[in-house]
Structure formats: structure tokens, C-alpha cells
Amino acid sequence: MTGAAEAMGLLNIDKPKDWTSHDVVARVRRLTGVRQVGHTGTLDPMATGVMVVCLGAATRLAEYVTGLPKVYWAEITLGVATDTYDATGRPTFEAPVPPLSADELAAALQPFTGRILQRPPIYSALKQEGEALHKRARRGEAVEVQPRPVTVYEFAPLEFDGRVLTARIACSAGTYVRSLAHDLGQALGCGGHLSALRRLAVGDFGAEEAITLEQLAAAAAAGRWTSLVLPADRAVAHLPAVTLAPDQARRLLFGQPVPAAPASAADQARAYDRQGRLLAVVRLDPTKGVWRPVKVLVQPDPHHADLPRAS
């Protein structure tokens, strides 16, 4: 990878506090000169931590990162509920925090682990009738949000001083940590809100390898920002890999199906050529025994377009 025109890959950005996800994308676009830049799911302005940004053709893989599990460090302040479920909102309820032993706290967290139904905050980027909920809520419109299933793999308390709880939370995509904080406060009868949040991981993208925007700016000024770009196939590392012969690779790039091994059991896979270049994400068609392209990431050679019709 030598420059913006050829850039395809991922940046693991450590999002700073008070920046929107759109702010980060705009900054990355300015620093790198890459026009095609996209993020893999919003992270609230109040939050910091892992935000995976896709460059070039890798933006086509954003949905695969968005769907990965997340890990957070969260600070929950009990005794005050807010309308946004976090520290940026207006207080709506206050009450004394009941005394809680370690065992009682663990018991209070238990209902919020496993497969649960969660109602997202009305102040969120979720859309209803084509418009973000937070826009409707700020206009004072009545907003009804239906609960939806999410999975909380871990809700482990780290410290608790009788009012402020810090915890490690591992959860499925689509889980709102703000809602966990609010619902915990409701269950305890004292109210609660999320007062700080740091995303520690998205899948195998960890905070320990994340770069700051300042580091990206310094690398861009030195003409070496591409050294910070991660391979695009990190976005689909959870899918099995298939390697194609040259004629199969050529067919795939022109949208043609290619034979799948008889033992193929995966619904989707990442397809490579023999040089180790990621070509596409493919989906198995079990009725025909072929892989069909879902996301093609490499431009085919227009001089080799003499291919038969798709089967």
C-alpha cells in the first residue's frame, strides 16, 4: 500500500471523548486523502475507545465488523436517572442508593446477563420512519421504542463505592450500555445513568493496538500513515478462508460462481487468490454446490471479460 489512491484496509482508532463518529470519519478522510471512509457503528460522543474505520473498498466489509461482539469498561452512577440514560442528559429521577453488599450487587446484576430483552434509549441513532429517534425526541414527539433481544456475556463489577459502580461488560452487537445502566437503577429503585464509557474491544480489535488521531496526524505528516493500516481481511477473520485457482479467481471477480468443495459447511467465506490477496466475501449455494460472490473487493481486469453466463 503506497498511497491514498491504493488504500484499502482498516484503522483501529482510539476515539477521543466528545467526538462524534462522524467527526472521526471526517478527520481520517482529511488526514489520509482517502475519499471512501466509513465507520463500523456509532460510538456516543461521551465514550472513548475502539472505533474501527474502513478505507476504500474495505467499506464494503463494515457490516461484518459492526456485527462483532463488544467489550466495555463502564462507570455507572446510581441515585440519578437521566432522559438520555447517560451523563449528558437531564436528570429525571433521584433517590438514595440502597446499601448493597458484594453478594447483593452481584444478584442485582444477574438479571442483566445472558439473553435479555432490552429497550434502547429514545435518545439514540436508531431510526423510526426513516428518522433518528434522538431527533424526534428532541422535538418533544412521543417516541415508543420496542424492546429487542441482545446478549450480555459478562457484567462483572470491578469497584463499587456505594454509589458509583465500575464494571466490565461484554455484549453482543446492538446492546446499549446506557440502557443497562438505566435499567439497573430502575431495578434498584434509585435510578442510575452511565457516567463514563470506554470501548475496550470490537471482536479481536483491541484498545491496546488502537491509534489516536494525533498519532495518525503525525504519521500522515511524515508520509507514512499507510503503515498504520490493518489488512482488510481482519474484518472477516471470523469467516473460513477459501483459496481459488487463477481461472476461478477471474470468474469470481466478474460476478460468476465458482465450485465449492463438497465438504463446505460454512454459509459464507472469504475468498483469496493464490497470492494471498483477499478478493471477495462469498456465500455458499448448497443447491448448486458453488460459491457466489457477495462482496467483491478487487476490480477485475477488463481485458479478460470473455466469461460464460452465470449458472
85 backbone φψ class: left, alpha, beta (φ>0; ψ -120 to 50): left
Residues 300 and 247: their CA atoms lie apart, in Å, by 12
Q: Answer yes or no: 83 catalytic.
A: no
Set 14, 18, 44, 267: catalytic member = 44
Which amino acid, 63?
E
Catalytic residues: 44
